[in-house]
Amino acid sequence: MNQAQHGAPSQTTADAVTVTGVDKTFDTRSGQVHALQGINLTVKAGEFVSLIGPSGCGKSTLMRIIADLDQPTAGSVAVFGKSAGQARLDQDYGIAFQQAGLLPWRTVAANVGLPLELHGVGSAARAARVAELLSMVGLTEFADRYPDQLSGGMQQRVAIARSLAESPSLLLMDEPFGALDEMTRERMQTELVRICAETQAAVVFVTHSIPEAVYLSDRVVVMSARPGRIQEIVPMRLDGERTESLREDTRYFEMITAVREALHGGNPGGGIATGGLATGSVAASAPVRGAETR
Amino acid sequence: MSTAAVSRRGTAPGRKAMSARTESWLRIIAPVAVGAIVLGGWQFLVTVVGVSEYLLPSPASIATQFVEYLPSILSAMYITGMNALIGLLVGSILGIGLAALAANSRLVDGMSAPIVASIAVIPIVALAPVLNSMFGADSQFSRQAIAALATFVPVFINTLRGFRQTRAVHRDLMRVYAASPGQVLRTVTLPTAKPFIFTGIRIASSLAVISALVAEYFGGPRGGLGGLISTSAASSAYARAWAYVVASIVLGLLFYVATLALERLANRRGGGS
């Protein structure tokens, strides 16, 4: 797919996301916390970019800033050439969180149709679009169920269908599969790959899991913590081929190793066998393993 | 995955399947049996043991009085019931309204906290005579006002708590959708708060009846249950006084059951199938 450019981001309107010099500091009782420092990132239209890093590296904060849910302390964010706030008002992106965040008093269909309903789409057009989305995520026969009658994986699929409701050209996903078991997770990844191919949307995907990032992404943005910085951007050379057999391919494992080494700051073998020799790599590998055992 | 785990409220898990029917029978029979035993024992004390009717009227004589004075009892129930109902409605509206303001404004929240705390501890006994003399001896207004005050506190506290249950992920979602404040209220805040609001109203319903009734003890027009209880007791017609007490219990239960049904209905519509 898109071969990544490591160079300075070019600011054109064709880019889905342009993050320029973003800093984010939080004021806490124990002083200022630098959540993000000097972040520069460009996500091209149709590109799948994962943000990966240890807990506290600010990857969720970065996604929230792109979504205009948080404001950067310094720097600027452009989404399709507009300000993040304008892009939010124009509904240029869809979003899915780690929690499905469905409204429990609404049926599956009413949850998926919520953004359409809020934006004044007529009930006939809405019903048609909801039916289309539910069939895309394979939940047609659950349209009239309530969220608490569904499993966690199904709820997450409803949330993804909801995020796609207005056919956004950008999807923001904050660990959407973080709470799922490994088998459901792999199936959801496969479905997401298919959905992205169908919708041609750019994706910013926050994750804890190296295999997940490698499997899904065109580029993996590896971040380090305190302060949150981009350590390295690893392009995936997997030829855009995302099938189940890829999970057993040597190139896939090579990419996993590449991302792992980037995470551990160029210390090969840091996280694989010994669990890290340097303190820095221990800190980096701990949350990753935590996510895998969840 | 396709057969989703369906966990609905119902009989507690672990109980035997056979006992479901027995259990529902027991739920009716057990309280009836307790009532029969208590009334039987009571009647036994008066007629056989010989406790004076003057001290303790027998259930039979109370029942006789109840039937004899039924028209008066019904009109008394209507008067007190209307006072309680008006108080309940007004108090609920005020409670929900002020809670909505307090949930949205830290300033209103800070200002209302001491007021609500002091309203919560105002004794009806002290307030009733004051309001009676303020609004005149022939006005039902003071009773309605007292019932409204008694209603206000639990409705306000529960509603405010309900408004604060909105989950962060739902708030984020509404911001992402650029929803207007009205849309946020309708789609997220109110549905989240709804069970809490109705619980508050249910708790308040009994308080409204008790307050409306007790307020009648301190002057103002007669004719309500409280007034008639005190009049009957003053003229030593204890069996009749008890008959009015029975009517008060019925009225209180009526309010409780009605608001409980309302609460169930609201939660069912909200919570799914």
For the segment A96-108, what is each residue's pLDDT rounded down to a tens digit?
988 888 999 899 9
**Residues with Cβ within 8 Å of residue B264, at least 6 apart in sequence:** none
Tell me how far apart the alpha carbons of residues B30 and B21 are, in angstroms, rounded to a whole number. 14
In a domain, A200, yes or no: yes
In a domain, A233, yes or no: yes
Tell me how far apart the alpha carbons of residues A238 and A191 are, in angstroms, rounded to a whole number. 18
DSSP β-ladder status, A170-174 and A202-207: parallel
Burial zone of B64 (CB within 10 Å; 0-12 exposed, 13-18 middle, 19+ buried): middle
Average pLDDT of span A140-148 = 89
Average pLDDT of span A111-135 = 88
Query: Which pLDDT band, with edges at 50, 70 and 90, does A281 fall under?
Result: very low
Examine residue A227 and say whether the peptide bond preceding it is cis (omega within 30 degrees of 0). yes
Nearest residue of chain B to residue A104 (CA atoms): B271
Nearest by CB to B177, which of A115, A142, A145? A115
Q: Where residue A239 sits, what CATH number does that domain have?
A: 3.40.50.300
* A108's tokens: 């599956």
Nearest residue of chain A to residue B6 (CA atoms): A149
Nearest residue of chain A to residue B181 (CA atoms): A118
* B60's tokens: 């039979």
Binding-face residues of B in 212-231 toward A, CB within 8 A: none
Does the distance separating the beta carbons of B172 and A146 come in below 8 Å? no
Binding-face residues of B in 250-269 toward A, CB within 8 A: 269
Q: Residue A18: is its pLDDT beyond 60? A: yes
Per-block mean pLDDT, blocks of 10 residues, chain B (273 long): 44 56 86 90 85 81 89 91 94 92 85 86 83 80 90 93 90 89 88 91 92 85 85 87 92 93 78 42
Mutation for B interface: A91, A118, A146, most B CBs within 10 A: A118
Render pLDDT for A55-80 as a digit per residue (tens, 0 to 9).
878 888 888 899 888 888 888 888 88
Does the distance separating the beta carbons of A142 and B4 come in below 8 Å? yes
How many structural domains is chain A composed of?
1
In a domain, A111, yes or no: no
Q: Does B1 touch chain A (CB under 8 A)?
A: yes
Q: Residue A286: is its pLDDT beyond 70? A: no
CA distance to partner chain A, nearest, from residue B55 (Å)? 55
CATH for B57-271 is: 1.10.3720.10
Does the distance separating the beta carbons of B178 and A88 come in below 8 Å? yes
**Residues with Cβ within 8 Å of residue B126, at least 6 apart in sequence:** none
**Spacing of C-alpha A278 from chain mean position:** 29
Render pLDDT for A204-221 as a digit per residue (tens, 0 to 9).
999 988 888 888 888 888
* A183's tokens: 């088998």
Tell me how far apart the alpha carbons of residues A278 and A276 are, in angstroms, rounded to a whole number. 6
Instruction: Please list every residue in chain B whose beta carbon sits closer than 8 Å to the beta carbon of residue A88.
Output: 175-176, 178
Does the distance separating the beta carbons of A99 and B1 come in below 8 Å? no
In a domain, A176, yes or no: yes
Nearest residue of chain B to residue A102 (CA atoms): B170
> Angle B70-104/B141-163 helices, nearest 10 degrees?
40
Domain boundaries, chain B: 57-271
Burial zone of A246 (CB within 10 Å; 0-12 exposed, 13-18 middle, 19+ buried): middle
Does the distance separating the beta carbons of B178 and A97 come in below 8 Å? no
Q: Is the dihedral of CA A124, A125, A130, A131 positive or negative?
A: positive
Does the distance separating the beta carbons of B6 and A67 come in below 8 Å? no
Render pLDDT for A241-256 as a digit per residue (tens, 0 to 9).
667 777 777 777 878 8
Strands (E), A103-225: 170-174, 202-207, 219-224
Q: Does B181 touch chain A (CB under 8 A)?
A: no
Q: Does B168 touch chain A (CB under 8 A)?
A: no
Q: Which has more pLDDT, A291 or A83?
A: A83
Edge-to-edge strand list for the sheet holding A48-52: A93-96, A170-174, A202-207, A48-52, A219-224, A229-235
Q: Does A97 touch chain B (CB under 8 A)?
A: yes
Binding-face residues of B in 4-23 toward A, CB within 8 A: 4-7
* Domain coverage including residue A244: 15-92+168-293
Q: Does B270 touch chain A (CB under 8 A)?
A: yes
Q: Does B170 touch chain A (CB under 8 A)?
A: yes
Q: Does A103 touch chain B (CB under 8 A)?
A: yes
In a domain, A119, yes or no: no
The C-alpha angle A109, A115, A117, rounded to 5 degrees, equals 75
pLDDT at A9: 41
Instruction: Please list every residue in chain A whose beta carbon sits closer than 8 Å to the beta carbon of residue B6.
Output: 149
Cβ-contact A100, A178 below 8 angstroms? no
Nearest residue of chain B to residue A172 (CA atoms): B176
Does the distance separating the beta carbons of A153 and B172 come in below 8 Å? no
Tell me how far apart the alpha carbons of residues B215 and B233 are, in angstroms, rounded to a whole number. 16
Does the distance separating the beta carbons of B172 and A114 come in below 8 Å? no
Q: Does A149 touch chain B (CB under 8 A)?
A: yes
Nearest residue of chain B to residue A97 (CA atoms): B169
pLDDT at A166: 85
- Which residue is associated with the tokens 């289309």? A132
Does the distance separating the beta carbons of B179 and A105 come in below 8 Å? no
In a domain, A140, yes or no: no
Q: Residue A171: is its pLDDT beyond 50? A: yes
CA distance to partner chain B, nearest, from residue A21 (Å)? 23
Nearest by CB to B5, which of A104, A115, A151? A151
